Homo-oligomer: A and B are copies of this chain.
Amino acid sequence: MPSQKIFATPQDAEAAFYEALERCDADSMMTVWAEDEEVTCIHPGGPRLVGYATIRDAWRNIFAHGMRLRLRLSQATTVSTPFAVVSTVLEYFSTADDQAISAPVVATNVYVRSVAGWRMVAHHASAVPPTSISDDSRILH
């Protein structure tokens, strides 16, 4: 059961989210998400997906048709409360030989603390205009 995994911190949940994304692993991806009807996921250029099952099906589809990519994260921000954390991060996707495959993406990620640990309740990603990228010295991943 994917839902049995416990993330003790929002950082653990975020790390698991990006590991699953890089590995194209839908089961691991869905251990990160809260099993709620109003969780939301917006992929770059895509519609709003609402609810655990809809989001799961979309990830499965993406991973079934996608290529495995290297992912680099930088310039994170965080706003924390006792039961919820908002982070944003810039995502850079590249092929194995480090060729960028698209414009960078900015993601807003929200995690909520439950009895089952920290889970993602929202992921909103959109492409960033290339001219807006500033210093990239804070590589996180």
Return the contact of A81 from the options B39, B42, B112 (Cβ within 8 A). B112
Chain A interface size, as a band, is 35 or more
A80–B42 Cα distance when bound, in Å, is 19
A 119-134 contacts with B by CB, 8 A: 121-122, 124, 126-129, 132-133
A interface secondary structure, majority: strand
A42–B42 Cα distance when bound, in Å, is 14
Return the contact of A82 from the options B82, B90, B129 (Cβ within 8 A). B82
A and B contact pairs by CB, cutoff 8 A, 29 listed: A38-B79, A40-B77, A40-B86, A42-B106, A42-B108, A42-B126, A45-B126, A46-B132, A47-B129, A48-B88, A48-B132, A50-B77, A50-B88, A79-B122, A81-B84, A81-B113, A82-B82, A82-B83, A84-B84, A84-B110, A86-B110, A86-B122, A88-B122, A88-B124, A106-B124, A108-B108, A110-B110, A110-B122, A124-B124
